Structure 1
Amino acid sequence: MPLDELSDLLERHVRPDLTTGIEGVRVCRIDHTASAVSSMSGKVLAVIARGGKRLALGDQVYGYGPGQYLVASIDLPVTGHVIDAGPGNPVLGFGMTLDPATIAELLLRAGPGDLPRSPGTTRPGIAVSDAPDELLDAIVRLLRLLDRPQDRRTLAPLFKREILWRLMTGEQGDVVRQVGLADSSLSHIARAVQWIRENYTRPFRVDEVAQLSGMSVSAFHRNFQAVTAMSSIQFQKHIRLQTARLLLANSPNEITRVAHRVGYDSPSQFSREYRRLFGAPPSIDALRVRAGAGNVGAALP
């Protein structure tokens, strides 16, 4: 069974730094359930071989377990929580970065009828499905190269392309295909996401970001909500609070200074919104993250 071999390969080749020697590919092992962790998803494929995870994006919650995969087509602020992990029963996962250039090339090479018809609507930036055997088999063949370094340079790019092709032609293919389309709704929203991430400390007008994205305000609202499961203002708030959490892990007693640094004029508002997102006041949560609980489960979406 591909899933059994995948579990074995992941367990044998996991490293503390999660790297594999294959560019864009990571593996992880998590031995116990821990507090929820906030991070940016990246454009990624994540497959669970054992155990499970839950991922929250805005008001949406995605759960996936053995033999299931998650794809994120845009870099989004998510909160992840490992489930079903314990001594002798670790969560094992595979992750691979989605490369827009390779996806675009595969789209150009595809002939008429090779790809399913797109529904023509903007899809969420995250989706979960059962992994077909063809996808698991391609991942297993990629990971077998970890035992054959002499074959890795030549064959790894081929197997990675096959994995992307299996995704593009699979149940969530329209989500993945958008990554390679230069003028898709996703690409317009991606410009807005990048701008907000680079300017998260400053106030902005929605019409300003809509214009930057090349959309009308109404189309921007609709598509941003569809992709990110939140408004652009909520998205900015998540970026501010996630950045503050990282800063407070190093300086847990400087709450007011960190609040101002990430764009809050009111420390009390900052504390309220921080507690609402992370479940504890900044002073308590910062110590928890610093102690290391917040690092568990951040390896893959």
Structure 2
Amino acid sequence: MSVQELNHLLERHARPDATTAINGVRICREDDAISTGPSMSGTVLALVTQGRKSLALGDQVYEYSPGQYLVTSVDLPVTGQFVEASPDYPALGFAMTLEPSIIAELLMQAGSGDLPRSGGGARLGIAVSDSSEELLDAVVRLLRLLDRPRDRKTLMPLVKREILWRLMTGEQGEMVRQLGLADSNLSHITRAIKWIRGNYTQQFRVEELAQLSGMSVSAFHKNFHNATTMAPIQFQKHIRLQAARLLLANHPNDITGVSHLVGYDSPSQFSREYRRMFGAPPSLDAARMRDVVNGGGKDLSSQGR
């Protein structure tokens, strides 16, 4: 596998919106060491082939650089930061969505001796590991299909399956395999995460989320924290503040209205927690974001991994 070829493919096919002709695959190029802002991680494999990237989840920071991959098995509220990027040496990245249905098919096809036995507990939903040559080679072959539309429809599903197989049998294999197990603790925690994301403005009782996940309250607390590094209330707070930041980009003078829209009863509490998360009060941060947009810069709140 040629690292030079991989970089060439990423640089040549990078677009401002990061999308590609392959569904679920994104390519990113950054010429400046800037924050990509808060976003939801999705369930994803991410590689950086030039530069480095730092990803913050709560108080935890994960860095990955060429030769490493980051994988997330839960949709998490994260903030990203590219480092070591310049117009002469841009940061280049690849991301592919992990599809639970395909992982489930691979689990069914695998013989009992082909995979380690899963422990069943919900592991941390984000991790960094060293990439194997086999994984990088499969990524290169997937990206080559961007130049071969005649082959893409037939070969793309096969290469994607190979990439998932390399992950499933790699260092973070147990975490990835849990995505395909309907009865794993991770899948049960995912129900609660989806509920919080869809109802982030509402108050909730942890007992109700535990029941939704089919767990006792103590088991739910433990498994939720294992998967997200946060308590459920902290997770909801991150979702609320990220939604508020997006709203403030368009309504910078309505801080009270935005705070109520995302579920806060107290604008002062909203302002305190917003400043703690983003490093500036809502009014100043909103003005800063508008300056970036009006100046032709990128929307810092919607960049991918």
Is contact 1:197–1:236 with CA below 8 Å preserved after alignment?
Answer: yes
1:280 counterpart letter in structure 2: A
SS of residue in 2 equivalent to 1:295: coil
Distance in 2, matches of 1:296 and 1:91, equals: 16
Report 1:55-134 matches (<5 A). 55-134=55-134
Distance in 2, matches of 1:264 and 1:32, equals: 35
SS of residue in 2 equivalent to 1:81: strand
* 5+ long unaligned stretches in structure 1: none
Equivalence for 2:169: 169
Distance in 2, matches of 1:48 and 1:300, equals: 13
Equivalence for 1:271: 271
Report 1:185-204 matches (<5 A). 185-204=185-204
Q: Which moved more, 1:195-204 or 1:218-227?
A: 195-204
Is contact 1:93–1:300 with CA below 8 Å preserved after alignment?
Answer: no
Note the alpha carbon deviations across 1:81-109, whole angstroms, 9 max, x for none.
11111121111001101001000000000
Distance in 1, matches of 2:298 and 2:16, equals: 16
What's the offset of the Cα at 1:35?
A: 3.3
Report 1:157-236 matches (<5 A). 157-236=157-236
What's the offset of the Cα at 1:299?
A: 3.7
2:240 counterpart letter in structure 1: R
Distance in 2, matches of 1:68 and 1:198, equals: 33
1:288 counterpart letter in structure 2: R
What's the offset of the Cα at 1:296?
A: 4.8
What's the offset of the Cα at 1:4?
A: 2.1
Distance in 2, matches of 1:242 and 1:19, equals: 22
What's the offset of the Cα at 1:294?
A: 6.6
What's the offset of the Cα at 1:117?
A: 3.0
Note the alpha carbon deviations across 1:136-162, whole angstroms, 9 max, x for none.
000000101111111111101100000
Distance in 2, matches of 1:57 and 1:204, equals: 22
* 5+ long unaligned stretches in structure 2: none
2:186 counterpart letter in structure 1: L
Equivalence for 1:295: 299
Is contact 1:48–1:69 with CA below 8 Å preserved after alignment?
Answer: yes
Note the alpha carbon deviations across 1:206-243, whole angstroms, 9 max, x for none.
11111111110000000000000000000010010000
1:27 lines up with 2:35 in the alignment = no
1:148 counterpart letter in structure 2: R
What's the offset of the Cα at 1:289?
A: 2.1
RMSD: 1.4
Distance in 2, matches of 1:285 and 1:45, equals: 30
Distance in 2, matches of 1:144 and 1:20, equals: 12
SS of residue in 1 equivalent to 2:35: coil
Distance in 2, matches of 1:35 and 1:49, equals: 18
Equivalence for 1:3: 3
2:214 counterpart letter in structure 1: G
Is contact 2:246–2:301 with CA below 8 Å preserved after alignment?
Answer: no
Note the alpha carbon deviations across 1:234-267, whole angstroms, 9 max, x for none.
0010010000000000010000000011111111
Distance in 2, matches of 1:43 and 1:238, equals: 18
Percent of residue pairs bearing the same amino acid type: 68
Equivalence for 2:259: 259
- How many residue pairs match? The answer is 301
SS of residue in 1 equivalent to 2:243: helix
1:33 counterpart letter in structure 2: A
Distance in 2, matches of 1:294 and 1:56, equals: 20
Note the alpha carbon deviations across 1:58-90, whole angstroms, 9 max, x for none.
121100011211111111101111111112111
Distance in 1, matches of 2:191 and 2:49, equals: 34
Is contact 1:81–1:297 with CA below 8 Å preserved after alignment?
Answer: no
TM-score scaled to structure 2, two decimals? 0.95
Is contact 1:34–1:81 with CA below 8 Å preserved after alignment?
Answer: yes
Distance in 1, matches of 2:3 and 2:182, equals: 35
2:62 counterpart letter in structure 1: Y
Is contact 2:58–2:230 with CA below 8 Å preserved after alignment?
Answer: yes
Is contact 1:32–1:87 with CA below 8 Å preserved after alignment?
Answer: yes
